[in-house]
Every structure is written in C-alpha cells, then in structure tokens.
Amino acid sequence: MDVIYSINGPVVKVADTKTFMMQEMVYVGDKRLIGEVIRVETDFTTIQVYESTTGLKPGEPVESTGAPMSATLAPGIITNIFDGIERPLRTLSEMSGAFIADGANIPSVDTQKEYKVDICVKEGDRLSAGDIYCTCPETPVVEHRCMVPPLSKGGEVIWTAKNGYYKVNDTVVKIKDSAGRVTELSLMQKWPIRTPRPCKNRLPIDRPLVTGQRIVDTILPIAKGGTAAIPGGFGTGKTMTQHQLAKWCDADIIVYIGCGERGNEMTQVLEEFSELIDPRTQKPLTDRTVLIANTSNMPVAAREASIYTGITLAEYYRDMGYHIAIMADSTSRWAEALREISGRLEEMPAEEGFPAYLPSRISEFYERAGYVETLNGKEGSVTIIGAVSPQGADFSEPVTQNTKRFVRCFWALDKSLAYARHYPAINWTTSYSEYTEDLGAYYKDRVADDFMEVRQEISNILVEENTLMEIVKLMGADVLPDDQKLLIETARVVRVGFLQQNAYHKDDTYVPLEKQYLMMKLILSFYEKSKNALEHGFTAQQALSLGWADKLVKMKYDIPNDKPELFGDYELEMRADYEKLIGGAAE
Amino acid sequence: MNVKYIGLSEINGPLVALENVSGISYDEMAEIRLDDGTKRLARVVEVDKGRAVLQVFEGTKGLSLVNTTTKFEGRSMQLPLSTEMLGRIFNGAGKPIDGLGDIFPEKTGDINGAPLNPVMRTYPRNYINTGISSIDALMTLIRGQKLPIFSGSGLSHNKLAVQIVRQAKIADENGQDFAIVFGAMGVKNDVADYFRRSFEESGALERVVMFLNLSNDPIIERILTPKVALTCAEYLAFEHDMHILVILTDMTSYAEALREFSSSKGEIPGRKGYPGYLYSDLASIYERAGIVKGAKGSVTQIPILTMPNDDITHPVPDLTGYITEGQIVLDRNLDQTGVYPAVSVLPSLSRLMKDGIGEGFTREDHQMVSNQLFAAYAKVQDARSLASVIGEEELSDTDKAYLKFGDLFEKHFIDQGFDVNRTIDETLDLGWQLLSTLPKSELDRVDDEHLEKYYSAEKAAQYFSEN
C-alpha cells in the first residue's frame, strides 16, 4: 500500500511508487480526501488534494482509483449547486451542517430519484458514439438526452427497457459491438474533466447570443459559441454584468461558475434565480441553471478544478443539442490557484510568479468554446464569458493580457464610469468585439436592413466625442463651434440614454433587439434634425432648447418594451417641433 | 501522545525543525518547554516523513538545539470558548492577559474554522444604521456584511470605527443580544488603549471581547489573531444567537506578518514579496462573515487596513477589495481640510446595499438619491479639474452649479463630526437639499414622481444660507 510521505498545504507527496498515473484521481489519508496526481518522478509522486489537509499525517494510506478526475453526467445536474469537484452542496449540507466537512464522498446527482424515461431506440438498431438512446424531462424546460459515450465503438441494440420510471444507475439499453462485447447503458456516464468532449465538426459562428443589454447587443456583440472576457478592478461591476447576462441571455442552459469569489454572491444567485421568471419559458431561471460554487475560502485545488468541471458539464449538454453560456467568475482566481499550487511544487515562476504554462492553460480553456455539429448531427454551442480581476486594476498584468489573446470579445470595465454609477461600466473605447462582422447578416435579416449602418453611426458619434473631450477637458465646452456642441450633446444622449442601462428597472433590465434598434434610430433622427436646424442658421442652444435630448435620455423608461409603436409617435412629434422652429423663423 | 522530543535540528527565524519524529499531522499544535521551565506554543507547518517544521508563536529567542523538549498535542489549534469571554481581554493567541485568570470553557473551537456552505447562507438584507450620513446613504452597512475601511497612516480610521460602534444600532428590533469582537494585529499600544477607553466610555465594555496583538508582540501570534477573534465571533453568533460586529485592525500588519513568516519558510514570493496564497489566506478571514440559515445571530466584519503610501493598488487593499463586499475609502486631502469622517465617496462602495435599502428597509427613494449623489459628485471632479485649468470664472453655469454643490456636499454631508448621529430620514432629506441646488434637468437618475415630491430649489437655498 502507498502511504503519504510529506504534506505542504494542499500538496502531498508519496515516495517510492511507480504505479500512479498522471492526472489520476486518488483517495488520500484515512478520511479519504479526494486528490489528483499532478507529477510523477522516480522518487516521488505528487498529489494535489481538493480538501483541507489539516490533520493529515505521513504514513496514512493513498489509494489509487485507476481513473482520471471525472465529472458525473446524468439527469439531476440542472438546478443543482456543486462545489469545484462536482459534489452537491445541498446534499453536503444535509450531511455535515452549515460548514463543509472533509472527506465526504457522495454521488454528484441523486441516485434514488426516478425519472420518466422514454426509450427512443429499438432492438436491432445500430448506435454509434453520441447517438441518443433515451430522453427524460430533467426540469420543466430541459429535456435530458442520454447519449452513447463519445469513445464507445457503438454497436447493435440487443435489449431495451420499457418506457417508465428509472433511476440514474438503472440499465435501460444494452448494445453489442462487432467483437461481441455487451455494454450496458444507464442514464449516467462519466467524462474526464480535463479532456474536451469530441464533436463532429466546428461550425462557423454567425448567430449572436442575444442578451438584452444594449451596449453588448449593438456595440460589442458576442456570438453563440464565442468567447468574451470582462476585465475590471474591484467595484466596477463584473459580477453584476455577469448576473445580468446569465439572467437574460438567450442560451438554453447557463453554467455559472463562482470560482474563488464571495459566498454571499452565490447565495444571491441562488435566491434571485429561483424568483426570476425566464421571459421565454415563463419558468424560474433556476430551471435552466447549474451553479458551481467554489468560494474563496474553499480549498484552492478544487478552485483550479472548478473551471474544468463547469465546462465539461456545458459540453455534455451541448452534445444534446443545446446552446450553453458559461459565466466564469473569476478566471483570475483560477489563475491564482494555479500559481499557488505551482509555488508549492517549487516550479520556476514566470511573470509575476505565475507559472510559465499559464497562457497555454488559458487558451486550452477558451478553445473549448465553439459552435459545433455534435456526434449525433445536432447543432449546439458553448459560449464562454470569463470575468478577469486584474491586480490593482492594471490591464497589463499577465492574466488579462493572456486572456486578451485568446478571446474575441473584450468588455473592459472602467473605474471612472463605475464611480459615476454608469452601469454597465463597459468602456466603449477600449473594448472591442471581433464578432461584429460575422453577425452582420443575422442583424440584417432579423432586425433591420440598415442595422449595421445605424450601429456604425452611433459608434462614430462616440469616437468623435472621445476626440473632442480632450479639448473640452482643457478649455471647456463653451469654446467649441456649434456643430461640435451638438455632437457632444448627442453623444451624451447615447451614453446616458442608450449605453447606460438600469438593471433594477423592470423594462430596462432586458431590452429586445427591436427596441434597441428603434432607440438608436430615434437618436440619429434627433441628431439629423438638430444639424438641419443649424444649417438654417440656428445656434446649437436654440436647437437643443426644444428639450428633445432630455426626453430621449428618458425614453428607455418612458417607452415600455411592449409598445414599440410609441417610437413612431416620438418621431412625428419631434419632426413637428423642429419644423415649427424652422418654419417660425422663415415667417 | 506522550512522546517528548529532546532538542531541535534547526532554528530559522520563527521556525524550528525536528528530525526523526513520527505520527505528526499537518497543522498540529505542539508545546515547547525550555530548560528554564517556560513554555511556548508552536504549530506544525510542514511534515516530511520523519521531519517536522514548526512555527513558534512566542518567537525563537533563547532557543538552542539542545535546551528544549517538544511535546505534540495531536490536534490542531483549539480556542476555549465561553460566553464569559465578553468583557475580557486576550492576547493574539487567545490567552487571557487581563489578570482575571483562565476562562472556564463551554467548548473548544478549531481556530481555522470550516468554509461555510453557500447553500446554508442567508443573503444579508437588514441594514445597520450607523448614523453617519456618508455611510448610510452611499455605502450602507448591512448586517452580515464585510465592509473594510481603507485608510492611511495618520487618518481617522480608528475614530470612525469607534463612532460606528457607538452609534450603530446593531441590536435588532426585539433588542436581541449584540456584542463586539475586537481583534488588534500589530497596533500601537496607544491605539489599543484608545479603543478600550472608547468602549468603556460608551458603556459597551462588558459586551466587548478584545484580542490584542501589539506591534511588539510576536508575528506568529499576529497570524493567529484574526482567526482566533473570528472563532470567538462565530461561536457567539451561531451558538448564542448574538449579532456580532468584528473589528480587525490593522490587516496590513497581518499581511506583513504573513510575508515575514512565508519568507522565513523559504516560499516563492508573489507580488511585492507577499506569498502567492495571500488571496486565499485573506479570504479565509473575510469570508467568515455572514448569516447562517436557521441561526438568529450574525457576524458583520469591519476590517481596517492602512494603505502603504495611500496606494489603493497595493496588494493588501487590492486583494481585500476583491474579497470584501465593498469598501469605505478615507481620503488624505479631505482629512487635511478638516473634514471628518474623511470618506472619499467615489471609490467607496457597498455591494450589498442594493438589496438592503429602499421601501421596507430605509426609504423608497434611497437608491435614487444615492445614485444621483454619486453621479453628481463625479461631475464635481470634472468641473474642478476644468476650473483648475481655465479658472472658475470661465466655467459654464452648470459647471459652476456643480462646484457649489461639491463644496456644500463636503461641508454639510460628509463633514459630519464625531458627535452627530443622524437618522436615515435626516440623511436622505439632506441629500435632497443638496441635489436641489442643482438645476432640475441635471438630475437624470431620479424619476419625475420623486423629483416632484422632494426637489425644492427655494428650500435648499434657504437652508444653506442659514447653515
């Protein structure tokens, strides 16, 4: 039997053994703490332990399992809340009370619960990897589809159970492969968390993840299957932004990974999501949400694993043909967990103490996003939105910089916007999205022909304002010529009336694409009409005295989401006002 | 385990090593007895087969390789707990130092605590009225929250903490028990004394448990102080249903002690020499605030830290800000102009306030007033920087209004004084008075209904001409 040789924080060494595999899951000590082999040398095998090692002694046994760290994939995942290594926290609290005890080995999903299973194959059918053999309702909005494991050779169905109620470990289908080996399939399968699940093809990205947040959908869109990073110092609203996206985006399933963040935030997600109703399904948001909570005071090694557990769950549901959005809050904490373990291993540090393999780990993670054709021919996607918490709000630090290289959408949160309580505090000049062009066709087809042009004009106004602001900061707005004053005022309407969005307002928290488009059109129309007034010899002050700027700033509240026809009224009223102004002067 | 080991094999700073030991577990406590009969406590920080590294709490002064006997206790560090602790003073490791003898423990608690299961937390929603306008209106303290004060050397953070303790209505409506747990890490003797006197004057001393590690006390003990204090707080809150306010000062000294310990252990340093696990370590302290489902008590934390060189991007305030639920930042410029409390409004924040204010908690217009005050004060900064370039005379009327608003805001709202205790209504009304000095069109964060109800330029003009 192998025994512990030394212990240093979460790192445990075993001497004189050659039998352990890399990345194998092991049980450590008398309490059977869960660990993973991370280094194998002639003298020592090194293990990282996912639980607190307090009280562990050299000489206690280390038990091999022969399998890599794997996630359990079965019905019962959605609505659940897990820790970093997929242990259900609710069950854990029933076992050990309010505080998390060590060495609790419990199944990830409820193995006693019965699901109403529909078998969708019959004897004689040929199944290959990824094929769906049965379905069951997991929640009111998610149908769970059990698939032949991706690495299976497939085979002929030789027996099926009848439709009816089954537990996750019950065998429902038996298949025989060409060599005559029989495999029993239940509702459950396992998959190693560090290996991406295979798919048939990666498809080009051309559909947006509609979030109902104006600055995201119009200015900095993200695609289904895309990747985005939200960097921002503390207090800039990373978590708020992620909550908003998780609540309102049009993904089928949300995987929310609270990685090294606050315990109260996870409680808040739990409470809020069970109260909020998904506008598309009319069911609570929890019915489409999985939470992975590894708060900052939970063991650091499990924090490192939580990201992989989350993405493995997401890929599993993607393979069923769903669109998944992952919120990872925050990837910096995950990178710090890597650094902490690397330090304990006495590896040579690279930048700021982070290990040299940081960039490759980050890219491996983000590359698991994508829009794919699954093994069974369906379409599914995994979108990753990762928050980054740069040290000292300095975007030049290694995690932000390396993340920037591997994501295509960068929503930089800005301290000064947050200080002025401009939320979402996404800075429109330093942020970018590479998906804008890929998604142009979709917006043209689904929203309006000139959507992309309108979007571009709005964005031009902001760019021009940015250059003018440098002058304004030095000399004040009064010295500007009238046309520039007008631009500054229009830009204010764009910033305050359009980009700023109130998450606590019942209408403004989620805004459909159509209304976003109409709002932009109305702002541009206001700009046109005011410019026209200038051409007729009016001053900027006169053109603005009609009060339309302030009215447009408030239109997000004044025009309800379900009354887009009011935009037409606004347009007519505004036209009349301006005609009166110009006409009055002509007389 | 009654085996005693004679002698040591290595001494390095606060760490000692023993060879040829067996059955030692990670994090275990040990007692080192010197030849002269004195005893020191130590904790195992690393074990190899046959070799153990211990940190000695009281320091290694006077230890040699041959003059000690070490006895291992077979368990991690436990703190004796009892309600008798109220009103008592302990050292950083939890030993009584007020000369009143040991307490009679009701039970003992592991000072490391265990992580609180997120599904067993209750989301904090009840606000604590501190009577300080800037905090109540703009960064409301919620029961069960961790809200640090970011300060600098020489600023009035201690005074502010005392004022919060004195004015805060921590006890809930039915007068449920409350108490204060005070943990001092590496503070000066006068500071500890200031707190003790202030508690005494406010008549709260018998409701205070003090853990004092002064600046000349051993650093290893300093590393234990917050953990010991929080173990006591959790015990009182979750087993005796009390509302506990924990004040920890100064977290920067704590982090420095951790750095010293880490470097003597030969660990690879991270930013500014602090160990790579500083975030996890701080989190294991700050996350021990909250409310447990089913328990009546709560733990609210106000850690105080001094930002070296007033630099908010220094690792200690930076990592703290990422863990805590907001921060109250003090500002040296305001302090120098005599403003007390010198709360720097813009970088300050309370993350939990959005759910603990408004109708049913404070007043329905609270959120709007707070947003509008923040937004307006942010514009004041722009106007001021513009004025410093082109001169005040050249500013537009709106910018001039903002300048005036800024001055009034600092004079009447922030500068409140040590003895003034305002109700939430007084605070919010004052907020409206200030907003009313701005043109109505500038107030874009409040809706028309409330603008109608509270906005009155005349009243404001009159109020500020009188005061």
Q: Is cis: bond before A330, omega within 30 of 0?
A: yes
* Helix axes of B219-239 and B251-264: crossing angle, nearest 10 degrees: 130
Name every chain A residue with its beta carbon within 8 A of the beta carbon of B356. none
Task: Give the per-residue pLDDT at A548.
Answer: 92
Tell me if B430 sits within 8 A of B131, measured CB to CB: no
Question: B434-454: string of b/e by CB count within 10 Å (b at 16+)?
Answer: bbbbbeeebbbbbeeebbeeb
* CB-closest option in A100, A234, A389 to B117: A100
* CB-closest option in B48, B112, B145 to A6: B48
Name every chain B residue with its beta carbon within 8 A of the beta carbon of A260. 279-280, 283
Q: What angle do CA B45, B259, B28 make, to 5 degrees?
A: 15
Helix (H) or strand (E) holding B206: none
Tell me if B416 sits within 8 A of B354, measured CB to CB: no
- The answer, yes or no, to whether residue B172 has pLDDT greater than 70, is no
What amino acid is encoded at A483 in this protein? D
What six digits make up the tokens of A472?
């304004």
pTM as predicted: 0.90
Q: What is the CA radius of gyration of chain A?
A: 28
- The answer, yes or no, to whether residue B1 has pLDDT greater than 60, is no
CB contact under 8 A, A56 and B26: yes
Averaged pLDDT for residues B440-450: 86
The span from the CA of B141 to the CA of B148, in Å, is: 10
**Chain A residue with minimum CA distance to B121:** A267
Name every chain A residue with its beta carbon within 8 A of the beta carbon of B315. 391-392
Task: Give the per-residue pLDDT at A133.
Answer: 95
Name every chain B residue with its beta carbon within 8 A of the beta carbon of A546. none
Cα A149 versus chain centre, distance? 25
pLDDT < 50 positions in chain A: none
- Identify the three-state secondary structure at position B190: helix
pLDDT digits (tens, 9 = 90+) for B179-219: 899 999 999 999 999 998 998 888 888 889 999 999 988 88
Task: Give the per-residue pLDDT at B175.
Answer: 58
C-alpha separations of B143 from B157, B180, B294, B326 in Å: 20, 13, 15, 13
pLDDT digits (tens, 9 = 90+) for B245-286: 999 998 999 999 999 988 888 888 878 889 888 988 999 999
CB contact under 8 A, A58 and B396: no
In DSSP notation, B325-371 reads SEEEEB-HHHHHTT-SS-B-TTT-EETTHHHHSSTTTS-TTHHHHHH
CB contact under 8 A, B27 and A55: yes
Tell me if B399 sits within 8 A of B386, measured CB to CB: yes
Higher confidence at residue B12 or residue B336? B336
- Identify the three-state secondary structure at position A553: helix
- The answer, yes or no, to whether residue B173 has pLDDT greater than 70, is no
CB contact under 8 A, A297 and B287: yes
- Start-end of H helices in A536-565: 540-544, 548-553, 555-558
Task: Give the per-residue pLDDT at B268.
Answer: 80
Task: Give the per-residue pLDDT at A510.
Answer: 92
**Chain A residue with minimum CA distance to B344:** A419
Name every chain A residue with its beta carbon within 8 A of the beta carbon of B379. 420
Left (φ > 0), alpha (ψ -120 to 50) or beta: where does A393 sit? left
Name every chain A residue with its beta carbon within 8 A of the beta carbon of B279. 260, 296, 333, 336
Tell me if A107 sits within 8 A of A327, measured CB to CB: no
* CB-closest option in A55, A421, A422 to B26: A55
The span from the CA of B136 to the CA of B131, in Å, is: 7
Smallest CA–CA distance, residue B366 to chain A, in Å, is 13
pLDDT digits (tens, 9 = 90+) for B338-385: 999 999 999 999 989 888 888 888 889 999 999 999 999 999 998 998
- The answer, yes or no, to whether residue B171 has pLDDT greater than 60, is no
C-alpha separations of B160 from A527, B156, B312 in Å: 50, 6, 19
CB contact under 8 A, A346 and B293: no
B318 touching chain A per CB within 8 A: yes
Helix (H) or strand (E) holding A374: none
* CB-closest option in A54, A393, A550 to B26: A54
Q: What angle do CA A240, A358, A436 make, to 5 degrees?
A: 50
Task: Give the per-residue pLDDT at A291.
Answer: 93
CB contact under 8 A, B118 and A475: no
Question: Which B residues 88-107 touch A at CB under 8 Å?
Answer: none
- The answer, yes or no, to whether residue B166 has pLDDT greater than 80, is yes
B114 touching chain A per CB within 8 A: yes
* CB-closest option in A264, A343, A550 to B123: A264
In DSSP notation, A159-190 reads EEPPSEEE-TTS--EEEE-TT--EEEE-S-EE
pLDDT digits (tens, 9 = 90+) for A44-55: 999 999 888 888
Give me the residue label for tokens 């291992």: B72
Task: Give the per-residue pLDDT at A351.
Answer: 84
Give me the percent of chain B exceeding a pLDDT of 70. 98
B419's CB contacts (< 8 A; 6+ apart) are none
**Chain A residue with minimum CA distance to B116:** A99
pLDDT digits (tens, 9 = 90+) for B304-327: 999 999 999 899 999 999 899 999
Tell me if A48 sits within 8 A of A341, measured CB to CB: yes
